[in-house]
Amino acid sequence: RDPGRAVMRYAQRGTADQYLGRFHLTREKLQEVSERLRKDLIRGLGKHSHHKAPVKMLPTFVRATPDGTEKGDFLALDLGGTNFRVLHVRVMEEQQRVLKMDSQICAIPKEMMQGTGEQLFDHIAACLYDFLLSHNLERETLPLGFTFSFPCEQKEIDKSILIRWTKGFNCSGVEGEDVVKLLKEAIRRRGDYDIGSVAMVNDTVGTMMSCGFRDQSCEIGMIIGTGTNACYMEEMKNVKRVEGEAGRMCINTEWGGFGDDGSLRDIQTEFDVVVDEMSINPGVHTFEKMISGMYLGEIVRLLLVRLTEDGLLFGGRTSKALLTPEAFETKFISEIEEQDNGLENTQKVLSKFGLKWDTVDSCVVRLVCDAISSRSARLCGAALATLANRIRVNRRQERLKTTVGVDGTVYKKHPNFSEELRATVRLLAPKCDITFLVSEDGSGKGAAMVTAVAQRLARQSRLLEESDGETDDEEEEEEEDQ
């Protein structure tokens, strides 16, 4: 991954390297980062320490991964990336498959992302109605899985309080409120249809669960898209905020908030600081802002502007487009770093930006993109290694074999992101053998899966009760007597 170092002009190379070097993280540094995150996971899980913990470690009330016997028809809503989607999903037991029957995308206009909560939920309820109507489902009351990809304090599977918006959303009157209640109120305001039971799901959980149907050792879900985050199965005895010691529960780590207490200051560059200050949520989601698709393009843009102003690119001349915040999309990074057509793609992007480039400039631009995307991949790798190591130690295993369900455009579309991420995990979690499963439509199908697993568990516990109902009654009576 060194496209143009050889052809770079001597002076250009030296000074550009000074900037790019700040994005390079050594193995020791990555190990340190992983160790800091390990401590933060423990803080987040603690009964008393979690209030102030930057990594929130949210209980999800998902207590089991699929066992392959789940089935049924479900509705799924998916809000949290670039689009809002409604889906009709069928979980088929026999073939162990989750089928997407139909789906529909509804755009959420930018004004709505930052308008009132009522407007947003009215829009969601209207999109759902359109979908039901056009698929003749308006008279059914199907259970609904709601993938809502923001940090939520879940009280139960159907009670989920938004802690804060991320990723460019900032609707008023939603933070601190129960999202299920807001959805149901919006549907009630319309009065023309109803929904069945609701299960709230983070996209990481949906991803883990949808991969879990195919591979039952899938116990980690990870997203590297517009935002970044991961969830994993934790031992109940360590989840101090939820009663009960037995079994496991899926924890939504919300690792995007890592560093919000200043713990990543040593690796933040001046460009990261600007990206944070210019964002709509300064001071929060520090780790996410160094990693995810919403921010990578902007970091590259700021760096290109600086290099140009220092006379190291484009003959020292910027352009209006290059000076426009957020104009450099993260997808350009993937195009620019493509192995075969990368150089050509770079030149197309630079021309589109109205820049006067030569071959050396395009090579430098590729190096800039490489520095930023590599750092992102390696930081994610370090964080994933922390989770894998934790699961291994939790289970007192010499070696851990586990599967990670992954989704998100950065992971899927970037030419060598996944390779670099895996290499870092191998380096920092040498005793863990990790299989990566790319999830297809995990947040939609996964929401249905969570609902299906919840139903299966309810069905199983009903069967259990029915089989020895009398004993249960006696026990209850005894308790009442005391």
| List 40, 70, 203, 234, residue binding ligand BGC (CB under 6 A) | 203
In the complex with ligand BGC, the residue whose CB is nearer, 229 or 403, is 229
| Interaction of residue 60 with ligand BGC, rule CB under 6 A | no
Rule CB under 6 A: is residue 80 a binding residue for ligand BGC?
yes
> CA 301: distance to chain centroid?
23
Residue number, nearest CB to ligand BGC? 227
Give the residues across from 172 on adjacent strands: 116
Of 151, 206, 212, 259, the one binding ligand BGC (CB under 6 A) is: 151
Q: Which one of 40, 78, 122, 167 is the catalytic residue?
A: 167
CB 286 within 8 A of CB 266: no
Number of residues counted as binding ligand BGC (CB under 6 A): 17
| Beta strand residue intervals within 140-184, DSSP E | 144-148, 152-156, 159-162
* 375 near ligand BGC (CB under 6 A): no
Q: Does 293 bind ligand BGC (CB under 6 A)?
A: no
Rounded least distance, CB 205 to ligand BGC, Å: 9
In the chain, the amino acid numbered 380 is C
Q: Is 178 or 203 the residue whose CB approaches ligand BGC more closely?
A: 203
Instruction: Enter the tokens of residue 396.
Output: 């007192």
Between 268 and 318, name the residue whose CB sits nearer to ligand BGC.
Answer: 268
202 touches ligand BGC (CB under 6 A) = yes
Determine the interface stretch with ligand BGC among 64-72, 221-229, 308-316, 409-417 (rule: CB under 6 A).
221-229
| Helix 469-481 / helix 442-467 crossing angle, nearest 10 deg | 80
Contact call for residue 276 and ligand BGC (CB under 6 A): no
Torsion angle defined by CA atoms of residues 314, 316, 317 and 320, in that order, rounded to the nearest 10 degrees: 90
Nearest to 354 by CA among 398, 313, 304, 319: 319
Give 297 or 342: the residue with its C-beta nearer to ligand BGC: 297
Active-site annotation holds for 100? no
Choose the stretch contacting ligand BGC; rule: CB under 6 A; options: 46-54, 202-210, 327-335, 467-475.
202-210
Pairing of strands 144-148, 72-79: parallel
Should residue 149 be labelled a site residue for ligand BGC when binding is judged by CB under 6 A?
yes
- Give the nearer residue to ligand BGC in terms of CB position, either 200 or 322: 200
Q: DSSP assignment, residue 355? A: -
Question: CB–CB of 329/301 below 8 Å?
Answer: no
- Tokens, residue 217: 């050792």
Nearest to 70 by CA among 210, 174, 164: 210
User: Which member of 166, 346, 347, 386 binds ligand BGC (CB under 6 A)?
Assistant: 166
φ/ψ of residue 350, rounded to 5: -65, -40
What are the phi and psi torsion angles at 257 (to 5°)?
Answer: -85, -5
By the criterion CB under 6 A, which residues form the site for ligand BGC?
80, 149-151, 166-167, 202-204, 223, 225, 227-229, 254, 256, 288
Residues classed as catalytic: 167, 203
